[in-house]
Structure 1
Amino acid sequence: MAKEHVRGRNWTFDEDIALCLAWISVNKDGAVGTNQNRNVLWGKIVDKFHENSNADRREVGGVYDRWKIINKACTLWKGSLERVMVDVPSGRSASEIVIFFVDILVVIGNTSNTFVAFFEGWLVRQEHFLDELLSAQRTVDEARDEDLQDLISRVLLHYQQYYDEKSRLAQRDVFLVFSPTWFSSYERTLLWIAGYKPGLVFRIVTESVPDFSDRQRINIARLRVETRIEERALNDKLANIHESVAAPPFVDVLRRYGRARDGEIVEDIAVIESLKPALESVLVNANLLRTTMVTKLVEILSSRQAVRFLTAVAQFQLKIRSLGLERDAEKRRELSGRSGGGGSPIGSTSRW
């Protein structure tokens, strides 16, 4: 579908309902399914949307953008509800659970909405950069080195913007960064100190760049050793944080974050406050290791090699996100099937 389109009129509540019903209808159709070209899928969703709506016709791009907004809101709602069902004390009445749920929504929503909006836009730009990298890779032998360097610099700046924004979020709520609601369940299993482990890129560069010189191999091996040492040091610091306080397991602390309603939780709040400065420090150092290590690696590579490497990194990230969203959607369909309900409008079948 087109990457750009003219902004149209505001959406109505009835149109939002029609879009959700269209998404459910198309994704429940076994003859359609999710294993098809995105343009074809969304063309069918738009056709079904117009069958459900009396409003003037909307373009595919506008409908797709509206769905991303709805999907983000549904994901926030679902994550908050799951958090409540894990955290809510037993024996509470339905009205108390509702109040608790609203409180969690306020805590998460006020802090994360700005970052989620940034992240959604960042992913769109990531796809644009991947298109540029793929185009450059196809013509890499004829491209001017200065043009490749310009693209490489813009891609690295794109990643730096992500880490800068995440650092600002961590200053407001470091626990949210360590338990990110904007990632799929699968993405969260791959996180190391709230991000990908730096050493992962060495596997990516080895698989994507086949023509290292002897000098490059030596320099990359040296950088790999330095990175492993830094990773171990940060692992030790994180372990010391866990051991430095008389606290329940770290994951349990994250799950109970935001629960300050009862006297029995006061001790946990003190624990949480004592963890924040140390966690912020570890996160800053982890992000610094990620960015400086990639910068050093790109400096070792030639411009043409760097384009291949950055292409592989973007493909890996977007593939992991797509796989994670698909797995979450499948789990929701299974749960819905067991409960006798219909399909869920939460989730996306798109590449990201």
Structure 2
Amino acid sequence: MMPASSTMSKESASYDMAEFDQSAIFLYLDGHDQEQRQTLNIFPSQPMHVAEPIPAKGVSMGMVAAMMPNGNSSSPRRQEEGGQRSAPPPPAPAVPLPNSAKENRSSLTKKEATSGGKGATSGDQERVRDPKTLRRLAQNREAARKSRLRKKAYIQQLETSRIRLSQLEQQVQVARVQGVFLGAGEQPAGFPSAPSPAAVFDMEYGRWVEEHSKLMFQLRAALNEHMADEQLQAFVNGAMAQHEELLNLKGAMARADVFHLLSGVWASPAERCFLWLGGFRPSEVIKVMLKHVEPLSEGQILGIYNLQQSVQEREEALNHTMEATQQSISDIVAAPDVAPATFMGHMSLAMNKVASMESFVLQADGLRQQTLHKLHHILTTRQAARCMVAIADYFHRLRALSTLWVARPRQEDGPGL
């Protein structure tokens, strides 16, 4: 225990220092109070729930209580108005707060600051944690995944079908243009049966006749409406392109099966009667044209006459060559005393002669093509259009004659016949 005199001296010394510091603080608070009276502090600078600040070690509890607006001590201005100034009570000794109290206050502040956010999300967490909701969300995700997989599989199937269809179209196009037809023993997967070259050619020729008839109908209508030469030239060019297509088909057929092309079974019976080396005779087309494109100038007549003479000469040359080839094949086949050992040798010679007939058919097609092109250069645009329509009408009438002949009424045979 310390003596009483020393204790009293320490208290008086601390009291004098506290009185001096407190008076200065009162003057500061008095000026600050006047500033707050002029402006109402609606928005405080600190939240209301913040804990009270902890005083420093050098500041006593009495000084803190004096600085509080709701404390027991009054400001110097209020004491002057009352006419009395009471002496301040002796300050209490500064007692430091324990560490546990600081931690409790800080944790309380953090809980209050985060209480609003937790309350806003509590309802969502409860709904998410609901087993029914979780099960429904899982089912929706699984259904969406399966739907995406089905869509992806369907798209892949469509792409595979498109690629397969493109491959089939390319195969048909190759068979159509180049004459590379599939044999009976070379059927790829997916084909129920491989068509023969003759069947493919007959089908393509029928399609060509239909398309050419439509184009000639449009060209005839353009002539009747007296369209300009530019429009007529477009129709004439289209007709020439169609004839080029037919010649390519016939060339492929000649390389695949020249007998089918020479027999003319792909054409109507009346056309077959006027068939020449697997097609029409060019000199006959010139005669048909001369009846429908009049009047002609002297230069045009001279050019057409020279063309007709040269075409007839080449026709005669091809006729003699073909007749000689046919006679040679007949002699080889009809040779007497053919031993079985030499039979295949004779057949190989005959096959070589048949292969030469293929070149004759191709030469005849080339002569047809040259004749049409030269007529196109000699005639004007309107005359060339009339020439194309006349040639198309000629073959159309031959097909119509065949149809009428097949459908004619027949007389019944007599009882004695």
- Write out per-residue CA displacement over residues 223-258 of structure 1, whole angstroms, 9 at most, x where no aligned residue: 111111111111111122123334389xx9xxxxxx
Q: What amino acid maps onto 1:171 in structure 2?
A: R
Per the alignment, residue 314 of structure 1 pairs with 392
Shift of 1:144: 2.1
Please, which runs of 5 or more residues in structure 1 have no aligned partner? 1-108, 253-262, 340-352
Per the alignment, residue 374 of structure 2 pairs with 296
Q: What secondary structure is seen at the aligned counterpart in 2 of 1:208?
A: coil
Q: What secondary structure is seen at the aligned counterpart in 2 of 1:334?
A: coil
Shift of 1:268: 8.4
Q: What amino acid maps onto 2:212 in structure 1?
A: Q
Q: What amino acid maps onto 2:246 in structure 1?
A: Y
Distance in 2 of aligned mates of 1:267 and 1:180? 30
Distance in 2 of aligned mates of 1:117 and 1:246? 32
Distance in 2 of aligned mates of 1:171 and 1:318? 27
Distance in 1 of aligned mates of 2:287 and 2:330? 38
CA distance 1:268–1:118, shift in 2 (3 Å) = farther
Distance in 2 of aligned mates of 1:296 and 1:270? 40
Distance in 1 of aligned mates of 2:331 and 2:400? 36
Q: What amino acid maps onto 2:264 in structure 1?
A: P
Report 1 or 2 for greater relative contact order, CA contacts < 8 Å, sequence distance ≥ 6.
Answer: 1
Do the aligned partners of 1:136 and 1:307 also contact (CA within 8 Å) in 2?
A: no
Q: What secondary structure is seen at the aligned counterpart in 2 of 1:134?
A: helix
CA distance 1:267–1:220, shift in 2 (3 Å) = same
Instruction: Kindly indicate whether residue 190 of structure 2 is the aligned counterpart of residue 115 of structure 1.
Output: no
Q: Counterparts in 2 of 1:2-17, with a 5 A limit?
A: none
Per the alignment, residue 195 of structure 1 pairs with 279
1:161 to 238, 245, 256: 245
Per the alignment, residue 127 of structure 1 pairs with 213
Shift of 1:180: 2.5
Larger-Rg structure: 2
Q: Which runs of 4+ in 1 moved over 4 A?
A: 265-272
1:144 to 228, 242, 246: 228
Shift of 1:205: 1.4
Please, which runs of 5 or more residues in structure 2 have no aligned partner? 1-194, 335-340
2:326 to 226, 232, 242: 242
Q: What secondary structure is seen at the aligned counterpart in 2 of 1:237?
A: helix
Do the aligned partners of 2:232 and 2:382 also contact (CA within 8 Å) in 1?
A: yes
Instruction: Kindly indicate whether residue 294 of structure 2 is the aligned counterpart of residue 210 of structure 1.
Output: yes
- Write out per-residue CA displacement over residues 7-40 of structure 1, whole angstroms, 9 at most, x where no aligned residue: xxxxxxxxxxxxxxxxxxxxxxxxxxxxxxxxxx
1:226 to 287, 310, 314: 310
CA distance 1:271–1:317, shift in 2 (3 Å) = farther
**Structure 1 vs Structure 2: percent identity of aligned residues?**
24
Shift of 1:270: 4.3
CA distance 1:236–1:137, shift in 2 (3 Å) = same
Per the alignment, residue 334 of structure 1 pairs with 410
Distance in 1 of aligned mates of 2:317 and 2:378? 24
Distance in 1 of aligned mates of 2:275 and 2:345? 28
Do the aligned partners of 1:185 and 1:328 also contact (CA within 8 Å) in 2?
A: no
Distance in 2 of aligned mates of 1:222 and 1:181? 34
What TM-score, normalized to structure 2?
0.48
What TM-score, normalized to structure 1?
0.56
Do the aligned partners of 2:328 and 2:353 also contact (CA within 8 Å) in 1?
A: no
Shift of 1:275: 2.6
Shift of 1:185: 2.4
Distance in 1 of aligned mates of 2:410 and 2:255? 38
Distance in 1 of aligned mates of 2:384 and 2:256? 35
Shift of 1:334: 3.4
Question: For the aligned residues, what is the CA RMSD?
Answer: 3.0
Q: What amino acid maps onto 2:312 in structure 1?
A: R
Distance in 2 of aligned mates of 1:248 and 1:184? 32
Do the aligned partners of 1:194 and 1:283 also contact (CA within 8 Å) in 2?
A: yes
Distance in 2 of aligned mates of 1:193 and 1:136? 34
Shift of 1:217: 0.7
Do the aligned partners of 1:208 and 1:308 also contact (CA within 8 Å) in 2?
A: yes
1:285 to 336, 343, 363: 363
